[in-house]
Homo-oligomer: A and B are copies of this chain.
Amino acid sequence: MPDEAVPNLKIYLAEKKKTVEAALQGYFPEPEGLTSDLINAMRYSLFAGGKRLRPILCIAGAETVEGSGRQILPVACALELIHTYSLIHDDLPLMDDDDLRRGKPTNHKVFGEPIALLAGDGLLTEAFNLMTSVHISGKISPQILLRAISLISRAAGYDGMVGGQAVDIQWEGKKADFTVVKFMHIHKTGALITASVASGAILGGADESQIEAITSYGEKIGLAFQISDDILDIEGDSKTMGKKAGADEQKGKMTYPAVLGLNESKRIQSELVQTAVLDLREFGSRAEPLRQIARYIIKRKK
């Protein structure tokens, strides 16, 4: 893991994030009329300072297979809408009951629970509107676009993220078990991260073997990312993270460290990142951003 890689990655992430922010602002309406509270609530969480990891992975996935990152921006941004909706619903009192997210009051703390619920519903629905909008149709073959939307919807639904959330909430406070915690992590976080990079590859024009390699990379970094979230909850600084450290243990959440201990969790995480990088062999220097993102996952502080 060469240290000089980090400054390059910082510039790369900052540039891509800027592109994503501008695109999101362009797609997203200004609040007006009777639904202005709803739209304000959607915007509040969407522009609360996320890392934009999923859109960046989608763009990097496309560029790794020599596709255009710019052309697929609507899909990249839609992934952020889906991620944001999941955070709003997850923070609701009936779920995790969190007051802080990214250092700011959670959506329902500002807008009330009904509007927070609807802001989540609105973001999820708008993600699919964005993916089928004039911003992308005509630029990408409709057949390929449908395949990407199908992949993303599966990863976000009961067989992916929503399924993982259900297991997470149902097993809270119960004796953790490795099979269950792995299932939960793969579904709750891994599925959408995998779909982000894989949909980018599909939209970028990858062939089947390239899609397979990038999907395999995505599955590994998706799991590693959730393990690093677990570790940050133990070792991280509340101020840097913008949310309370130690919350997982307090809530009796299933985590890798809780089941396997901190050292074994770090070993697995490191192995996942190393093997994820091996999946990218065939892409040469074009895959350098994806390789560095994989390594960044272990180093990140928030």
Contacts and interface: CB of A to CB of B under 8 A. Distances in A.
Given A153-B132, A162-B38, A95 B121 contact: no
Contacts of A180: 34
Nearest to A134: B150
A258 interface: no
Given A34-B180, A146-B145, A166 B115 contact: yes
Interface string A113-154: 111011011101110110011000100011101110110011
Contacts of A124: 121, 124-125
Contact of A95 (B117, B141, B154, B156): B117
Copy tally for this chain in the complex stands at 2
A interface residue count range (under 10 / 10 to 19 / 20 to 34 / 35 or more): 35 or more
- At the interface, is chain A mostly helix, strand, loop or mixed? helix
B129 A166 contact: no
Given A35-B158, A162-B38, A146 B153 contact: no
Contact of A162 (B29, B89, B121): B121
A250 interface: no
A178 to B, nearest CB: 13
A129 B153 contact: yes
A110 interface: no
